[in-house]
Structure 1
Amino acid sequence: MQKRPYIVIMAGGIGSRFWPYSRDNKPKQFLDILGTGRTLLQMTYDRFITLSDNSQFFVVTNSKYKELVKLQLPEIPESQILTEPLRRNTATCIAYASYRILGKDPEAKVIVTPADHLILQEENFFKTMEIAIAAADTEDRLITLGIRPNRPETGYGYIQYISNQGNPVKKVKTFTEKPNAKLAKTFIESGDFVWNSGMFVWKVSSIIKAFEKYMPDVAEVFEEGADHFTLEREDAFIKKAYSLVRNISIDYGIMEKADEVYVVLGDFGWSDLGSWSSLHEVHEKDVENNVVEANALLYDTQNCFIKVSPQKLVVVEGLDNYLINDSENVLIICRLDGDKKFREFVNAAKTKGEDFV
């Protein structure tokens, strides 16, 4: 019987493009964004527990969110909540989990997933994941999941693959970070690009070899500290390790450089829920294409997202493509598709006081 894979959930992001609903002390992965009664982190756990068991889950998060993870996922032993003292992007996050898993099971297969994605068609997702897990059997292979695109989206990264008729596992040709609208349209028309989901499958030995080859500085840090991976000594080691490594994504650090990178194509109702506009896309809407989570009166208003406490009556007239959100001590009214402005908004809000972010 095939051994169950280890599951690494990356849960350290700050979700700034969901500000002010998502805050520094409680980012979007810890919120019930979809109104299901489960947070995005809990929904991710619920999805993957069908493929593995509690003893093989690792959650990597910022140290300030450890108590939130413990509260929301009491099923996961505390020793499997890996806390980062600094934000060092996905390469370091994955290295930390990978060296931990290597110490437990050098033959392990690993699935790496963000904590905050939506998957609507789970049956199709599991079929795709089965293909990816099988593809990862080949030594040194690094597998990523690619989403068949349905529009020229500029908010996602893209993967170009080499066509191989009849085989769902494709050799990756190029990675491209979020393109402009013209380039995204060209990608869609070419037919050999998919969205980069940010989910990965590999043998732990394969990703360790890749770190040793393409990010030897990171590999050296974690190899030297492998014997410190005990509850008593790990915190001190990790603080030192994170002070020594670069802030770089796994895509830039390894996936764009490695030779044996493959993509499995999937179509399972995926969204990275990266912004208000992406949430608007998947949410139930009224006849005017508005998402309304409020006690609201709307006049000549279309394509908006309105989320306000039902204790307030909101009257909106003459708006198209706007976000209105009243969360705690911040009211925001801005273009719904202005995702790129949110970093500016959050930085400006910090100057008004830390309580606003």
Structure 2
Amino acid sequence: MKIALIMAGGNGSRFWPLSRKDRPKQFLKLNSDKKTLLEQTVERVNLIIPKEQIFIATNVNYEAAVKEKIDCIPEENIILEEVSKNTAPAITMAVLKIEKIYPGSTIFILPSDHLINGEKNFTDLLLRGGEIAESKNAVLTIGIEPKYPETGYGYIHVSSDQLVSDDQEYYTVQNFEEKPDLKTAEKYLAAGSYYWNSGIYITPAKLLLQEIENKLSSLYNNCKKIMEISEYKNLSQIRDKIKITKIKNIYSELENISIEYGVIEKLAKIYLLKANFIWDDLGSWTSLERVNEKNSENNIVVGKHLGIDTSDSIIYSCDRIVTTVGIKNLIIVNTGDAVLICDKDKAQEIKELRKLIEKENLDEYL
């Protein structure tokens, strides 16, 4: 049984002011598709996995947003985390529930906020990855061949021994690398044995639970307690106040740790399947230049804009017209209640700007 688990609980801040606490990146429309990234993810996966076998793990604060955009998924397949504790607890509880409903399943763990072009290649590769994960009884990830020395992504180093399954290349993973500086990223690119980490994992559910129990035993046991006390339901569905109190107390004890750091990077055996589709994690406003068509002045424009001597800029307006004269290389975003003006070369510092807004207690703009 093939099951998709879409991770939709992230609260990214690099697309401020468009992204907010109640509307993170996965709920934004950032490319010409006119659908949110989460909607696009569900539609892609639904090409090979029926909606009854698609699960979404998200934060309780995003429940309404998920249900509004994704009405094709059964409500019981939306798994809500009461407190954000990174991906390890969220994945553990979701996989515990999935394994109870569909024992012996193979799970495709997918980010909800990445852009993928080449759906046929993508879905075919997922199916091939599922076959390899099942036959090897191992975790498999999909790696993106780097096209330039990117410092904003994690990297995966693979062995030189190429393995083949039905003409599809895959490799044994040597180790995971943190986001590098430019010099190191250039070295990775030249080596040819490093791949960008897509955050996509394919694994037998039972195997993943065993590895979590071995490497994060306290977290695993606490997640199991939560699921057993709740009878695999979301907290909002529970009426017993004693049970609610117990669950909240256990939540407070959960370790805040990612599945990569806590489990994946420590696996004795993991394989990487080379991607054959176009991928972008849309990590900043400047990434829109890679996924949207530019106009004759080399601008990306979403919404209403009139400009004179305006070039090489990104202009995004939700409601009002934006007018510009004599500008170049800027990001301008208007959301009605907030305006961002930023040099494109400083786009990665927007998250620091958001911290400043928080420090000034301007919570209504977060």
TM range (shorter): over 0.9
The aligned amino acid for 1:55 is E
What are the equivalent positions in structure 2 for 1:90-239 lying under 5 Å apart?
90-138=87-135, 140-165=137-162, 167=164, 168-228=169-229, 229-231=231-233, 232-233=237-238, 239=248
3-state SS of paired residue (1:256) = helix
Say whether the 8 Å CA contact 2:300–2:315 is kept in structure 1: yes
Instruction: Measure the CA separation in 2 of the matches of 1:144 and 1:239.
Output: 33
Farther off after superposition, 233-242 or 246-255: 233-242
Q: What residue number does 2:349 align with?
A: 341
- Of 313, 325, 335, the match for 1:316: 325
Q: What residue number does 1:291 align with?
A: 300
Say whether the 8 Å CA contact 1:103–1:226 is kept in structure 2: no
Say whether the 8 Å CA contact 1:140–1:205 is kept in structure 2: no
Q: What do residues 259-312 of structure 1 show as CA deviations (whole Å, max 9, x unaligned)?
A: 111111103110111211112221111244321224434445443211124642
What are the equivalent positions in structure 2 for 1:14-163 lying under 5 Å apart?
14-138=11-135, 140-163=137-160
- The number of residues matched between the two structures is 353
How far apart are residue 237 of structure 1 and its match? Answer: 6.0
Say whether the 8 Å CA contact 2:109–2:200 is kept in structure 1: yes
Q: What do residues 245-268 of structure 1 show as CA deviations (whole Å, max 9, x unaligned)?
A: 222111111111111111111031
Farther off after superposition, 123-132 or 311-320: 311-320
Q: What residue number does 2:312 align with?
A: 303
Say whether the 8 Å CA contact 1:283–1:291 is kept in structure 2: yes
**Quick one: structure 1 residues 271 and 92, their matched pair in 2 at CA, closer, same or farther if it must change by over 3 Å?**
same
Instruction: Measure the CA separation in 1 of the matches of 2:222 and 2:335.
Output: 41
3-state SS of paired residue (2:195) = strand
Instruction: Measure the CA separation in 1 of the matches of 2:271 and 2:33.
Output: 34
Instruction: Measure the CA separation in 2 of the matches of 1:71 and 1:236.
Output: 29
What are the equivalent positions in structure 2 for 1:219-298 lying under 5 Å apart?
219-228=220-229, 229-231=231-233, 232-233=237-238, 239-298=248-307
How far apart are residue 139 of structure 1 and its match? Answer: 5.5
Say whether the 8 Å CA contact 1:84–1:238 is kept in structure 2: no
Structure 1: unaligned runs, 5 residues or longer: none
Instruction: Measure the CA separation in 1 of the matches of 2:246 and 2:201.
Output: 26
**Residue 13 (str. 1) matches residue 7 (str. 2):** no
Instruction: Measure the CA separation in 2 of the matches of 1:235 and 1:98.
Output: 21
Superposed CA RMSD in Å reads 1.9
Output the TM-score relative to the length of structure 2: 0.91
Instruction: Measure the CA separation in 2 of the matches of 1:43 and 1:237.
Output: 37
**Quick one: structure 1 residues 240 and 140, their matched pair in 2 at CA, closer, same or farther if it must change by over 3 Å?**
farther
**Quick one: structure 1 residues 55 and 239, their matched pair in 2 at CA, closer, same or farther if it must change by over 3 Å?**
farther
Instruction: Measure the CA separation in 2 of the matches of 1:326 and 1:46.
Output: 29
Q: Percent identity?
A: 33
**Quick one: structure 1 residues 128 and 155, their matched pair in 2 at CA, closer, same or farther if it must change by over 3 Å?**
same
Output the TM-score relative to the length of structure 1: 0.93
How far apart are residue 130 of structure 1 and its match? Answer: 1.9
The aligned amino acid for 1:335 is D
Say whether the 8 Å CA contact 1:20–1:330 is kept in structure 2: yes
**Quick one: structure 1 residues 324 and 81, their matched pair in 2 at CA, closer, same or farther if it must change by over 3 Å?**
same
